[in-house]
Amino acid sequence: MKIKQVILRHLKLDLLHPFTTSFGTEYDREFILVEVKSDDGISGWAESVAMLDPLYNEETVKTNWHILEDYLIPILLKNEIQHPDEISEKYFTHIRGNYMAKAALEGAVWDLYAKKQNASLSSVLGGTKKEIEVGVSIGIQDSIDSTLEIIETRLEEGYKRFKLKIKPGWDVELIDKVRKVYPDIPLMADANSAYTLQDIDRLAALDDFNLMMIEQPLAYNDIIDHADLQARLQTPICLDESIHSLEDARKAIKLGSCKIINIKVGRVGGLTQSKKIHDLCQEHQIPLWCGGMLESGIGRAHNIAITSLPNFILPGDTAASSLYWAEDIIEPEVTVENGTIMVPSLPGIGYEPSLEKINKYTTYSQTYSFELV
Ligand code: OSB
Ligand code: MG
């Protein structure tokens, strides 16, 4: 495969509802859309999930643009690639970190590769499921009552699992009240690293509520304290922020830092590394689910494809486009029926990027061509 051209676009989409986590509130999403073009004129698409500010991890939209422009795109334009696995396994290995930037470019090549095989992205990744089950991630609200109202609506819409964002002071009472109204719903909490081991009693109090898991309670870069915490808790710990690689996953499993892992393709450096973590976790009976980063339809399509692999056992965070955006940039939008998304069988990501809508939300763009490298 010879990549002739890469186009980076900077887009801004307003969220329908602000999204609050323990680290801050998002009102919109600014992100980089990557388009790669081969010599036969086929395009592959992906998006970077890096946020505007380094609050979830250290990457940002600007650091991603820099790493893509100055390092990753030149490597891709200079080399002929036989298979997308080579990108993270061979060509990007000497560039440290910057996983979201790497994943964005690699993801676009995966889409292109699948289209060239006339196969769905799901099938070239080894996906086996024809449909996937999804839940929702519910941000921190002004009151417990408004949280209960959102749960009621999402329950009626059919979502299969309810994740509530928590932080110190918005935790035990919240979960207690939700459990009193909904004793049986699949419920979990995500702390986005808001606690330390000093909060162990508060976290242990959550054991009373039959949660499916507690996601990333401790530091964003920790797997040691999480092992101590897991030894004290009945509730499974799920790691998100702390897992960047196959090696991180191996060490976390070995230490007993978690019983579940949330895979975000961007956080772990792309689809190839996601597959490797998938296989390792399957071997160790660690169930997976696919996390979300408030993606546009392009990132959502990639999430659907990876979730079709067999060890994505638990419902993920890939909710319908209409929960986030007035209009999405793909056609058709991602829809959820009875908590289920049909995995597309069309070539590549299986949704058509709408150039008209993409142009509408693009604030600036840059084209990189083979001839100029
Ligand atoms: O921790 O899973 C997280 C959104 C932004 C950053 C981190 C997280 C999230 C979500 C939202 O939970 C998931 C989604 O609906 O896309
Ligand atoms: Mg999380």
Cα of 291 from ligand 1 centre, angstroms: 7
350 C-beta closer than 6 A to ligand 1:
no
Is 96 among the domain residues?
Answer: yes
CA 250 – CA 174 distance, rounded (Å): 34
Q: Are residues 368 and 314 in the same domain?
A: no
193 C-beta closer than 6 A to ligand 1:
no
| Residue 172: pLDDT band with limits 50, 70, 90 | very high
165 catalytic per annotation: yes
pLDDT on residue 260: 98
Q: Are residues 208 and 130 in the same domain?
A: yes
C-alpha distance from residue 119 to each of 77, 115, 167, 310 (Å): 24, 6, 43, 18
Q: What is the pLDDT of residues 115-168, one digit of tens each?
A: 999 999 999 999 999 999 999 999 999 999 999 999 999 999 999 999 999 999
pLDDT on residue 48: 98
Q: Average pLDDT of the chain? A: 97
pLDDT on residue 371: 74
273 C-beta closer than 6 A to ligand 1:
no
> Cα angle vertex 309, ends 34, 13, to 5°?
30
CA 188 – CA 169 distance, rounded (Å): 17
Looking at the structure of the chain, the number of domains it has is 2
pTM over 0.85: yes
For 56, residues 6+ apart whose C-beta sits below 8 A from its C-beta are 23, 192, 220, 241, 293
Is 264 among the domain residues?
Answer: yes
Q: Are residues 27 and 76 in the same domain?
A: yes
Is 222 among the domain residues?
Answer: yes
User: Which CATH number covers residue 272?
Assistant: 3.20.20.120
Average confidence (pLDDT) over 184-200: 98
Q: Are residues 162 and 264 in the same domain?
A: yes
Average confidence (pLDDT) over 63-90: 97
CA 12 – CA 34 distance, rounded (Å): 14
Is 349 among the domain residues?
Answer: no
CB count in 10 Å sphere of residue 120: 22
What percent of the chain lies above the pLDDT cut of 70? 99
Q: Are residues 133 and 238 in the same domain?
A: yes
pLDDT on residue 345: 97
Token representation of residue 186 = 């699949």
Q: Are residues 65 and 7 in the same domain?
A: yes
Check: CB of residue 339 under 8 Å from CB of residue 134.
yes
- Indicate the range of 38-42, 111-115, 156-160 predicted with least confidence: 38-42
Average confidence (pLDDT) over 158-187: 98
Average confidence (pLDDT) over 200-219: 98
Token representation of residue 213 = 């898991």
Pocket test for ligand 1, best of 48, 137, 304 (most atoms within 8 A of CB): 137
Q: Are residues 90 and 160 in the same domain?
A: no
Nearest CA to ligand 1 atom 9: 293
Three-state secondary structure of 108-160: HHHHHHHHHCCCEHHHHHCCCCCEEEECEEECCCCCHHHHHHHHHHHHHHCCC
pLDDT on residue 370: 83
Is 87 among the domain residues?
Answer: yes
pLDDT on residue 20: 97
| Residue 291 alpha carbon, nearest atom of ligand 1 | 2
CA 222 – CA 206 distance, rounded (Å): 21
State the catalytic residue, choosing from 165, 167, 275, 357: 165
CA 54 – CA 42 distance, rounded (Å): 34
User: Which CATH number covers residue 20?
Assistant: 3.30.390.10
Q: What is the pLDDT of residues 276-332, one digit of tens each?
A: 999 999 999 999 999 999 999 999 999 999 999 999 999 999 999 999 999 999 999
CB count in 10 Å sphere of residue 68: 25
Question: 298 lies in which domain range?
Answer: 123-342
Secondary element (H or E) of residue 238: strand 237-239
| Residue 241 alpha carbon, nearest atom of ligand 1 | 1
CB count in 10 Å sphere of residue 298: 27
| Residue 373: pLDDT band with limits 50, 70, 90 | low
pLDDT on residue 27: 97
Token representation of residue 143 = 């009151």
Average confidence (pLDDT) over 246-251: 98
- Residue in the structure block whose two tokens are 């110190």: 168
Is 258 among the domain residues?
Answer: yes
Q: Are residues 91 and 185 in the same domain?
A: no
38 C-beta closer than 6 A to ligand 1:
no
Task: Select from 199, 180, 178 the least CA-distant residue to 189.
Answer: 178
pLDDT on residue 372: 64
Is 350 among the domain residues?
Answer: no
Q: Are residues 104 and 247 in the same domain?
A: no
292 C-beta closer than 6 A to ligand 1:
yes
| pLDDT beyond 90 at 61 | yes
Q: Are residues 83 and 222 in the same domain?
A: no
State the catalytic residue, choosing from 37, 115, 163, 264: 264
Q: Are residues 202 and 234 in the same domain?
A: yes
Q: Are residues 16 and 31 in the same domain?
A: yes
Is 39 among the domain residues?
Answer: yes
